[in-house]
Each structure stands twice: as C-alpha cells, then as structure tokens.
Amino acid sequence: MSPAITAPTVRTGARVAVADLFYSFQGEGVNLGRRALFVRLIKCNLTCGYPGMPRAADAPAIGAMVCDTEYTWNTAKHDLHAAPAMSAAEIWNELVRLDPATDNSGMAAVDLVVVSGGEPLLHPGIVVDLARRATASGRALEIETNATIAPSPALIAAGARFNAGLKLASSAVPYGKRIKPQVITQLQASGRARWKFVVTGPEDVREIAGLQQKFGLTEVWLSPEGTSADVVVDRMRWLADVALTHGWNLTTRQHVLIWGDDRGR
C-alpha cells in the first residue's frame, strides 16, 4: 500500500484563490435537488482528460472523461491568477450573503454548503475553517474530492462529509496518481464518504465493480458524464439497469439538465 497523501498544514489567516461562489441546487448525489451554497476553489492535483498538465491551450484531450472545470487548474488554457484570493472568513461571509434568507426572514435558510474545485483538500486550513463555521450555523457541509488526499482528523471532527469521486481509466490520469489505496481505505472507514463515479461507457462499469470489491466501497453512486442534457439523459437510460443490477445508486446532473454547461450553476 502506498502511504496516504496528507495535505500540508495551512497557517491561520491563509487565503485561497476562489473560482466561483454561488447559490443553486446540489445537482448530483444524495442531496440532488437540495438548495445549496457553493464555493469552488482553484487548484487540482489531477488533470482529468489528460495524462499530465497540457502544455498548450489547444492540446487535445485523450480521455473520454474530461474535466468540466478546467478553469480551476489548466494553466495552458486559463489565467488562474485572475481568481480573487480570499480567507475562509471572507468566503463564509460571501456565502451567507448569497443565502436569500439573510435578507428575507420569511424564507428558510439554506442548510447545505458544498466545497468543490479543483481539489478542496489541497487547502486543508480553509476547508476545516469552513466546516466549523457550517456546523456552528446548523448547516451541513459536503466536500467534492477526488479521494487522493486524506482528510485531517480536524476536518472529520468538524463534521464534513465527502462526495468521493475516484477517477477511472477513462480520465487518462495514470493509475498511481488517481488511486491511493490508503486514502480510499481511510475515507471508507470514516463513515462519511459516498463514492461517486463519472461514467462514460461499459469499461468504466467494470472498473467500478473491481474498485468496489477491492476496497469494500459502500454507497456507490453512478453519474453520467456529459455537459449537455441530451448526453446526460442518454447515458442515464442505460446506466439505470446497470445500477439496479449491481446494487448501486444513480444520480443525474440536474444543473446540466436545467442550464447546460453554464458556469456558476
């Protein structure tokens, strides 16, 4: 087993580049359709669609599963320095401002916060702070992670849950980069992880079954790859029988069905 990758300690008052802050619905998984406050952080340790960081803006993707938020990490295509740097307190204050209940006492407060990326666990101090603030305000907090970086005990204690999206061979990312056995085992043992797999075709299904058997994964969710409603619906139709046969759950991509590939939705 390779050792767990633990993100470096971040000093108090650290700042992180933020790609997006918005109010919408959780579009996938167990909280599908639930109103949520989102923060998307810059930086990722994987390069989905490519075996490594592209060297040119026009570099073609190799994998069938291509990242739909390349603007958080692909420096060949995007200027990451344009994203504002914010502290956890500033992020939290903006999330609260985005909650319509802040200015409307007759509306129920949004009780779910989703931290996405990029890879949020590259910013451990920030996510721990956000998780603590969420818990203190009576909100749940989900972290969208690629399950290659182990969450700290402080983050577990703060009440965070993890939508763990292991990347498959269809992502073109080398196996040793995308599959970290000790991290997977730790997340599974925490009881806080739901395992979400983006599916492009039958080969993905075979790999998912193998990973489930190898690591004893529970609460597996299939998510159809696609950034258009037509592709998402077509893939869901054949994935439905796959999910039922294997005892897995199936999620759509609600935000894509409603808004297509619009950013900040």
- Binding positions: 25-27, 40, 44, 48, 67, 69, 116, 118
Which residues define the annotated binding site for S-adenosyl-L-methionine? 118
Kindly write down the DSSP assignment for every residue of 164-203, as one continuous string.
E----GGG---HHHH--HHHHHHHHHHT-EEEEEEE-SHH
Which residues define the annotated binding site for Mg(2+)? 69
Q: Note whether 44 and 118 are within 8 A (CB).
A: yes
User: 109, exposed or middle or buried, with CB in 10 Å at 0-12, 13-18, 19+?
Assistant: middle
Residues 6 or more apart whose CB falls under 8 angstroms from that of 3 comprise 182
The residue type at 3: P
Among 117, 126, 134, 105, which residue's Cα sits nearest to residue 45?
A: 117
CA distance 199 to 171: 10
Q: Note whether 262 and 27 are within 8 A (CB).
A: no
Which residues define the annotated binding site for [4Fe-4S] cluster? 44, 48, 67
Among 220, 219, 223, which residue's Cα sits nearest to residue 231?
A: 223
H or E segment to which residue 95 belongs: helix 88-98
Q: Note whether 28 and 139 are within 8 A (CB).
A: no
Which residues define the annotated binding site for substrate? 25-27, 40, 116
Distance, C-alpha 226 to centroid of its chain = 15
